[in-house]
Structure 1
Amino acid sequence: MVAVISEHIEITPGVCGGKPRIAGHRIRVQDVVIWHEHKGMSPDEIVSRYPTITLSDVYAALAYYHDHLEEIQQQMRESKALVRELQAKTPSKVYHKPTRAHCVLGAIAGNLFFCQSMSFNRESTAECD
């Protein structure tokens, strides 16, 4: 008898960092977990967004996650730490001083905190307080 999860989940060194993924795809188990557990997507929503995988693939990824909870959570923590490290080493090339337009756009987007934390000088530029 072939284990159902092994039909859907594979680990290949050098592919997706050797992390468990849906067989034949580059969608990691941790990706499915983030979509489902953290972003609130249902398995059906995940399949509709990524139609090359099946509902069985999604449920197998979630089952694998629950069978290997600490391992997957550790991988997710490591991925998050790597992102933070890379962000700290590589400053944004698009960052610039906020302007009055940013305040207006922030207000339109409902970001009132951003607007309230800015003061304007005569040249209509903004500086954060």
Structure 2
Amino acid sequence: MQTITDIGTLIVRTPGTCGGRPRIATTRFSVEQIAVLHKQGLTAAEIVKEFDFLNLAQVYAALAYYHANTEEIETYLAEEEAEYDRLVVEQAIN
């Protein structure tokens, strides 16, 4: 019997998990993480091969979310980069 997956269930937000940011359901793998890997040049198949607990449907759902909500995800990525830079400077001072 064929299993049907409602693609609307593949990406979720849960307060207290991944900062409430969108993530792949049943994992702590965020859409941001998938976006970064994709921007680094990895294909969906390569991401699944690297992270074998994910499947293609999950990765494509995350990529679809990213492309449909690019501004949101890019804002999160910019915030994380700014925090990284702040910590680097803080570490250099100490």
Question: How many percent identity over aligned positions?
Answer: 38
Question: Pairwise mapping of residues 4-43 of structure 1 onto structure 2 (< 5 A)?
Answer: 4=7, 6-37=8-39, 39-43=40-44
Map residues 13-92 of structure 1 onto 2, 5 A cutoff: 13-37=15-39, 39-91=40-92
Unaligned runs of 5+ in 2: none
Q: Name the SS of the counterpart of 2:59 in structure 1.
A: helix
Report the AA paired with residue 26 of structure 1. R
Alignment length, in residue pairs?
A: 90
CA RMSD of aligned residues (A): 1.8
Letter in 2 for 1:24: T
| Structure 2 counterpart of 1:64, one-letter code | Y
Runs of 4+, deviation exceeding 2 Å: none
Aligned equivalents of 1:92 and 1:33: distance in 2? 32
| d(CA) in 2 for partners of 1:83, 1:24 | 27
2-side partners of 1:92 and 1:23: how far apart?
A: 40
Query: In structure 2, the residue corresponding to 1:51 is in which secondary structure?
Result: coil
Alignment of 1:88-107 (within 5 A): 88-91=89-92
Distance 1:31 1:92, change over 3 A: farther
Q: TM-score with structure 1 length normalisation?
A: 0.65
2:27 aligned counterpart, secondary structure: coil
Question: Deviation of residue 92 (structure 1)?
Answer: 9.1
Unaligned runs of 5+ in 1: 94-129
Give the 3-state SS of the residue equivalent to 2:85 in structure 1. Answer: helix
Shift of 1:91: 3.0
Task: Give how far 1:3 is off.
Answer: 5.3
* Distance of 1:81 and 1:69 partners within structure 2: 18
